[in-house]
Amino acid sequence: MPGDRPEKGYRSDYFWSTAIAVLTTIAVLVYPMIDETGPAESPWLREDNIIENAQAVMFLIGALGILIAGLRSEVIREGGAKWRYWGIAFWFLLLFVFAGEEISWGQRIIGWQTPDWPFFADNVQDQTNLHNHELLQQTKGTLIKRFMIIFGMVMPIAAVLPLFKGLMRYFAIPVLQLHYVSVFVGAYLVYANLVYSREEFGWGPIEYAETFFAFGLMMFGVHGAIIRDSIFGIDRDGDA
């Protein structure tokens, strides 16, 4: 079985999880020192600046990592069913879309004018993207928070349970490695305004939280590409 052949020299132990949790906590707490003048005076958090471009790069790296993880996967290959690749295809496309949306599909870099189409007429920032459309403005925040909770917290913790772990591997459902749960916890605390009030800090914390979000998804893909089948929990034990 794939689970009988975990990567040599690697084990998903408490050290890495603890180290990443500590670093995430520090990153959350240092925000006021970084942005003490407020988001309006912080060049690194302004629209179309280095942070948003970095987020796009992280999403793209994550997408490529997931693609490589799928091609290297013994869980999928030994399962013998091509439908098992659906999870890999879904995650690759999702992260690719996240990357494209972050830079308005190149508009922010190349600088073209937003097409004069009825659909884009309802874009609140007059940009070539989906996430700033009026239809998504009311639900975007809720969807992101639910995604953080389900994918970034509930699923990786549930995957410790034998029943869920077996289902995850049978259906080849990619699940976040346990190391990175704290990254999504940190993102959620900031994004949901549980740490910084929007009245005091404006929209700055949102970009800050989205950076956590992008970093967590990048590491999800990179870790999966390097450690064979870690997206299916193979690195969590040696006898699954």
Domain ranges for the chain: 53-108+136-236
Cβ-proximal residues to 20 (8 Å cutoff; 6+ apart), any chain: 179, 180, 182, 183
The answer to whether 64 and 70 have CB atoms below 8 angstroms apart is: no
Specify whether the CB–CB gap between 182 and 214 falls below 8 A: no
Tokens of 189: 């605390």
Is the pLDDT at 115 greater than 50? The verdict is yes
Q: Name the β-bridge partners of 123.
A: 133
Tokens representing residue 19 in the block:
């180290």
Q: How many CA atoms lie within 13 A of 62 on its CB side?
A: 27
pLDDT at 67: 95
Which region among 20-24, 116-120, 184-188 has the lowest average model confidence (pLDDT)?
A: 116-120
Dihedral Cα 84, 86, 89, 90, nearest 10 deg: -130
Mean per-residue pLDDT, 23-29:
84
More confident residue, 202 or 83: 83
Cα–Cα distances (Å) from 97 to 45, 56, 179, in that order, read 21, 10, 25
**Residue 13 confidence class, pLDDT cut points 50, 70, 90:** low
Residue carrying structure tokens 């308005």: 104
Please give the residue that has the higher pLDDT: either 52 or 240: 52
Structure tokens at 193: 């305004």
Tell me the C-alpha distance between 17 and 39, whole Å: 31
Distance CA 82, CA 204 (A): 43
Give 97-100 contacts, CB < 8 A, sequence gap 24+.
98/59, 98/214, 98/217, 99/56, 99/57, 99/59, 99/60, 99/63, 100/56, 100/129
pLDDT of 141 above 50? yes
Q: What is the pLDDT of residues 36-75, one digit of tens each?
A: 555 445 666 666 677 888 899 999 999 999 999 999 998 8
Quickly tell me which residue has 């975990």 as its tokens.
6
pLDDT of 215: 93
Q: Is 16 exposed, middle or buried (0-12, 13-18, 19+ CB in 10 A)?
A: middle
Write down the pTM of the prediction.
Answer: 0.83
Query: Which of the listed ranges 28-37, 192-201, 225-234 does the model predict with the highest average pLDDT?
Result: 225-234
Instruction: Identify the band that residue 214 occupies on the pLDDT scale cut at 50, 70 and 90.
Output: very high
Question: What is the percent of the chain with per-residue pLDDT over 90, rounded to a whole number?
Answer: 28
What's the whole-number average pLDDT of the chain? Answer: 79
| Size of the chain, expressed as the number of residues it contains | 240
Top-confidence range, 9-13, 21-25, 181-185, 226-230? 181-185
pLDDT at residue 22, as a whole number: 85
Q: Are 12 and 177 in contact (CB under 8 A)?
A: yes
**Range 56-67 burial, b when 16+ CB lie within 10 A, else e:** bebbbbbbbbbb
State percent of the chain over pLDDT 70.
70
Place of tokens 């976040």: 176
